[in-house]
Each structure stands twice: as C-alpha cells, then as structure tokens.
Amino acid sequence: MSENTASAEFLPQSPRGSRLQQEHVRKVARVAEQLRRRKSTAPLSRHKRAVSHQVPKAHDKKHSDEKISMVDFDQVIDIDAERRICIAEPGVPFCKVVEKTLPLGLVPIVVPELKTITIGGAVAGCSIESMSFQYGGFHDTCLEYEIITAQGDVLRCTPDNEHQLVFQMMHGSFGTVGILSRLVFRLIPAKRYVHITHEKHESIDTYLDSIYAHFERQDVQFMDGIIHSNTRLSLCVGDFVDSAPYTNRYDWLKVYYQSTATRDQDYFETPHYFYRYDHGVTNVHPKSFLGRLLLGKFLGSSQILRIAEKARWLVLDDARPDVTVDTFLPFSRLKEFLLWWEKDCGHFPLWCVPYRRVHDYEWLSDEYWKRVTDQLMVDIAIYGMKQRGETNTYRLLETKLAELGGVKTLISYNYYPEQEFWGIFHRKNFEAVKAITDPNNIFRDLYEKTCKAAMGR
C-alpha cells in the first residue's frame, strides 16, 4: 500500500507545498513501516513536540507506554488562498497556522484559545471557541484526514468516501482510533482587528435570550461569555474590523475575564483576541499582579502545562484533583444547570461558549441524540475549582449531565462505570472502526484510555 494517499483534490499547488508533501510522504512511510514491523500488542502512544493540553494526571499510564515519534509532523504543508483551505500535519499548533494564514487575510474557523493546542489534538480531543455558535468544533471545519492504522496501513478519510465512519470517529477519539498524520481544513476571511462588546446581564433569563437572539440572527462573528455569578453575566460579542482606535492584549499584567465585567467594549489585534485566554480562561496563572509582573511574560499555558507534566508527582493530587473540565449542555437545560451548580457547587466564574449542533457526532450513542432536540448546545467550562469535603465533583457532574441531556469532555478526570460510559459513547461505531484501524487494540479503547489508564488504573 503506497503511503501517498493525498487525493488529487487536496494536493499542494505551490512548489514549496509539493516539496513539503514529498517530505511528508517520507515521514508517513517511516511511521507506517515502524508499525508494520512491530509485533508487540502492548499499548503504544504517540510522542509529539508540543505539550499536551489534556488535564495532566500524575499516574497517567501514557507516560510509561512505548512511544512512536511524531515530533516532526509539525509542518504547514500548503495554504490555498483561493480555495481557502490549509493542508497541515497534526503537530502544528494553532498559533503557527494563524501566523501563516493571517498575512493572506485568512484564519482557521475555530481557533482554541491556548496558543499551542495542535490541530491534531483539536480533532482527536475537543475544540471550541467563540465562532462555535456558527460552525461547531474544529473537526466540523475539516475536509480530509490521512490516518495511519496500527497495522501501518494509510487511509484517506473524508465525510463521504469509503472511510467516512473512520473520519467521523477520529473526532473525540483521544488517540484510540489511529494516528492522524495529515489534515485538510477550511479557512475563512479575517481582518487585522477584532472589536468586542461586553453585554452585561443581571439575570440568567435575559442572558439566554440574548445568546439565542444572536444565534438566530447570526449578527455577530464571535460570541462567548463569562458567568461571574448567576446575577452578573457577561456576553462578549463582536466582529473582525479593519481599524481600531486602540488595541488591548491580555498576555501579561491584565486579565481578560476580569475585563469582561468592567469594560463595555474592547479592541484587539486579531492574534491577541485569539489568545486573550492563553494565561488561563478563569484560572489565570500567575494569579497575583506581582506574579504576573515578574513572571507573566514567560509563563503562558504551554509553560504551565509543561511544568505540571514534568513535576506531576510533586504538583498533582490524583486523589482530590482540582476540577478543570468542559461540559456540553443542550441550550434549553442551561438555566437548570446554572441554578443547580450555584446551589451544589457554587464555583464561579465559568466560561460559556455557545456551540451549534452542526452534526450528530457518530461517537455519541444513538440514545444520546434521541434525547437532545436543541440545535444549540452550550459549553460550560470549569477551571481550577477546589473540591469541597468528600464530594467527588467530577462524578457529581457526570450524573447531573446525564440527567440534563449533557455530556462531559473526557480531557480530564473520568469516573464513569463502564456500562454507563457506553450508554453515552457509541460502542458499536468504535468497535466497527477499531476492527479496521486497530484490531489488536494497541491504542487502547476509549473507556480503557480515558477512564482507567489516564487515572493510572
């Protein structure tokens, strides 16, 4: 099986692109050959250059797995400004994609807010940001995936070819389906600046009314929010603009989420808007002004996560971890969730990201989708909450979300019993795809990887 699976439709047009595509083919051949030669069925994990943006865990078994190196899969292979598409390798961080596309007046559609989240991780993990109310997640903007299977076969997967289920199941698979080795995704026009208005709301009702009105009218390009409490709610809406009377950035002393409660509006250079939360969304590091003055310039999310990963034995407590997790809820159940959260957990601020139901993801069970009728979902993200007393807040969230038709992203700590887990996630679809891509289960299955191995069990 030749490793050059790139379809004619998505072959680089530029000489530089063609050269990088040839280099890419050689890299894929190297990895495929390693997998073909490997006889062991022991778990195998990928090693990439950028830090992982999953919540680090002290006992995560991935650290002791045999590794396959993907450190050199970090190239932007080609940008076709006319067709507004980008061809790139999975290890490319979004900040590098934006750096290359913005000079052409284009950007990726969903740019997660931490600079070094990679495009591969955004597909295989999860990804949201303030354009998600129009476009869903980054996966929903992708057109083609090249996937290397555990047997060293290389598949070209699109939403409508013979590997469409593999294409869909790569999303949210957390590396259990196969190795994503090349992506083709859409770009949209962008301008040099972004203008944001911070709407202030004193009740959940007016807040939800405004979110739904903007969703229906599609009258803004960006929409997310900070819920400071259930009576102080900021909705941050805005657009790309050609000029700005001033610009702000929040990558040193100033803290963006706090500004949403104090400012009526703000202007940014586009990259500074994308990375307004890079020091943490609502759990900013360093916390103190003095800490930011001395270290803020050097300590972005990547450095903090790298330290946490390296010193995980010292800094992480897997028994009583702080709560950092994204939850997805049907819009119609959000008020119930916020009132419950205030009463039973009471941790604020929260990040609120409306998310259009662009596609009923094949990795969630049919039973799950039968229960959800909303066309708009909302991501409510909790960052850095200290757990109280004996309560396991992660487990509390898992049961409450099941009650409200919601789902918890698997990037953090997961306590689902196996049967309950497969009531939410689509076991049959995973098994159908694993039969093609990883019949010996060397990449682990989704439950084993996210609810057991990640927790050191």
Q: Does 175 bind ligand FAD (CB under 6 A)?
A: yes
Q: Minimum CB separation from ligand FAD for residue 81, in Å?
A: 25
Taking alpha carbons only, the member of 131, 127, 125, 160 closest to residue 143 is: 160
Among 32, 85, 86, 90, binds ligand FAD (CB under 6 A): 90
Residue 83 or 312: which CB sits closer to ligand FAD? Answer: 312
For ligand FAD, which is the closer residue by CB, 203 or 334? 334
Q: Which of 155, 180, 334, 436 forms a contact with ligand FAD (CB under 6 A)? A: 180
How many C-alpha atoms does 127 have within 13 Å on its Cβ side? 31
Our CB check for ligand FAD shows the closer of 54 and 149 to be 54
- Amino acid (one-letter) located at 37: R
Contact between 127 and ligand FAD per CB under 6 A: yes
304 contacts ligand FAD (rule: CB under 6 A): no
**SS3 track for 94-153:** HHHHHHHHHHHCEEECCCCCCCCCEHHHHHHCCCCCCCHHHHCCHHHHEEEEEEECCCCC
Give the nearest distance from C-beta 254 to ligand FAD in angstroms. 19
d(C-alpha 397, C-alpha 403), whole Å: 10
Residue type, 60: D
Residue from 31, 126, 226, 236 touching ligand FAD (CB under 6 A): that is 126
CA neighbor of 22 nearest in space, from 2, 4, 48, 1: 4
Taking the C-alpha atoms of residue 43 and residue 452, their distance in angstroms, rounded to an integer, is 13
> What does the block give as tokens for 4?
């050059």
Does 309 bind ligand FAD (CB under 6 A)? Our answer is: no
Structure tokens at 345: 């957990």
Examine residue 121 and tell whether it contacts ligand FAD (CB under 6 A).
yes
Handedness of CA 307, 309, 311, 314 (dihedral sign): positive
User: Residues 227-246: x/- map of binding to ligand FAD (CB under 6 A)?
Assistant: --------------------
**Interface stretch with ligand FAD, choices 124-132, 159-167, 358-366, 432-440 (CB under 6 A):** 124-132
> Count of residues for the chain?
457
**Residue from 108, 112, 330, 405 in contact with ligand FAD (CB under 6 A):** 112
Segment contacting ligand FAD (CB under 6 A): 22-30, 47-55, 195-203, 342-350? 47-55
> Applying CB under 6 A, does 125 fall inside the site for ligand FAD?
yes
Site string for ligand FAD, 344-383 (x = CB under 6 A): ---------------------------------------x
The 3-state DSSP class for residue 366 equals: helix
Q: Binding residue for ligand FAD (CB under 6 A) from 113, 251, 309, 445?
A: 113
Cα 450 to Cα 422: distance, rounded to the nearest angstrom: 12
- Tell me how far apart the alpha carbons of residues 412 and 247 are, in angstroms, rounded to a whole number: 35
**Pick from 58, 77, 124, 142: which binds ligand FAD (CB under 6 A)?**
124
* Nearest to ligand FAD of 28, 179 (CB atom): 179
Number of amino acids touching ligand FAD (CB under 6 A): 27
Based on the shown chain and the rule CB under 6 A, indicate whether residue 130 belongs to the binding site for ligand FAD: no
Q: What is the smallest separation between the CB atom of 15 and ligand FAD, expressed in angstroms?
A: 27
Question: Which own/partner pairs from 250-259 qualify as long-range (CB within 8 Å, at least 24 positions apart)?
Answer: 250/276, 250/277, 250/279, 251/275, 251/278, 251/279, 251/296, 251/300, 252/292, 252/296, 252/297, 253/289, 253/292, 253/293, 253/296, 255/279, 255/284, 257/226, 257/281, 257/282, 257/284, 257/349, 257/351, 259/198
The residue of the chain with the least Cβ separation from ligand FAD equals 125
Among 411, 433, 436, 446, interactor with ligand FAD by CB under 6 A = 411
Footprint of ligand FAD (CB under 6 A): 46, 52-55, 90, 112-114, 117-118, 120-122, 124-129, 174-175, 179-180, 324, 383, 411
